[in-house]
Chains A and B, each alone.
Chain A
């Protein structure tokens, strides 16, 4: 059973880059079974898919964030990462890492506990 843990700074200044890492246990980041995704949730609001990466390195992003997002895989430590540039207060949210399969199975059946990132000077 997959277990996921997000880590990174809890506060980022406006205009800077938000960087988070998700550490995966119970499975390999190099597995062809999963895409490795990020979802966020502003306080008191709904869920927004940010993007996903396959072990091969292929990525797809939400068009609403695409210009600012980079997701990458670090196979040596069974981790994958999120970078979101030029952040504003609107990027304040709980960020979850959540893998998914492909096609009919592209739902999010595992989630990290989430990490709150606040954008503030």
Chain B
């Protein structure tokens, strides 16, 4: 089973700032089968990024993903008020699919 670790646990920033979220895997994630989700309170997760760097349909270009192997990054270039949420990474290259514990982006 691939264990995902996310850092930091909480990121306190202001609108307009850049957010850099990290996801590290316990072993190499094959073919960059790594996704990122955004979740707001009371809502289901929303797919942002798949294949480590491909934006899902309708996702603004301020969201970008990068990385390979065991180290992956989600970057939000300039935070908008609606971006304050919890972000999860997930690997889907092999069963069991696993999620990271999440990074909360909150207001400074």
| Residues of chain A at the chain B interface (Cβ within 8 Å) | 46-49, 60, 62-64, 96, 98, 100, 104-109, 111-114
A104 to B88, CA, bound (A): 18
- Could you list some 13 contacts between A and B, CB below 8 A? A46-B88, A48-B99, A49-B97, A96-B45, A106-B33, A106-B93, A107-B47, A108-B37, A108-B90, A109-B56, A109-B57, A111-B44, A113-B44
Overall SS of chain B's interface: loop
Are B33 and A49 neighbours in the complex by a CB distance under 8 Å? no
Query: Which residues from B are CB-within-8-Å of A107?
Result: 35, 47, 50, 90, 92
Query: Which residues from B are CB-within-8-Å of A112?
Result: 44
Query: Which residues from A are CB-within-8-Å of B95?
Result: 60, 62
Are A96 and B44 neighbours in the complex by a CB distance under 8 Å? yes
| Residues of chain B at the chain A interface (Cβ within 8 Å) | 1, 31, 33, 35, 37, 44-47, 50-51, 56-57, 88, 90, 92-93, 95-102
Query: Which residues from B are CB-within-8-Å of A98?
Result: 44
Are B92 and A106 neighbours in the complex by a CB distance under 8 Å? yes
A100 to B90, CA, bound (A): 13
User: Of all chain B residues, which has the CB nearest A48?
Assistant: B99
A109 to B56, CA, bound (A): 8
Are B100 and A46 neighbours in the complex by a CB distance under 8 Å? yes
Known: A106-B93, A109-B57, A111-B46. 12 other contacts (CB 8 A): A46-B88, A46-B99, A47-B88, A47-B99, A62-B97, A96-B44, A98-B44, A108-B37, A108-B45, A108-B47, A109-B47, A109-B50
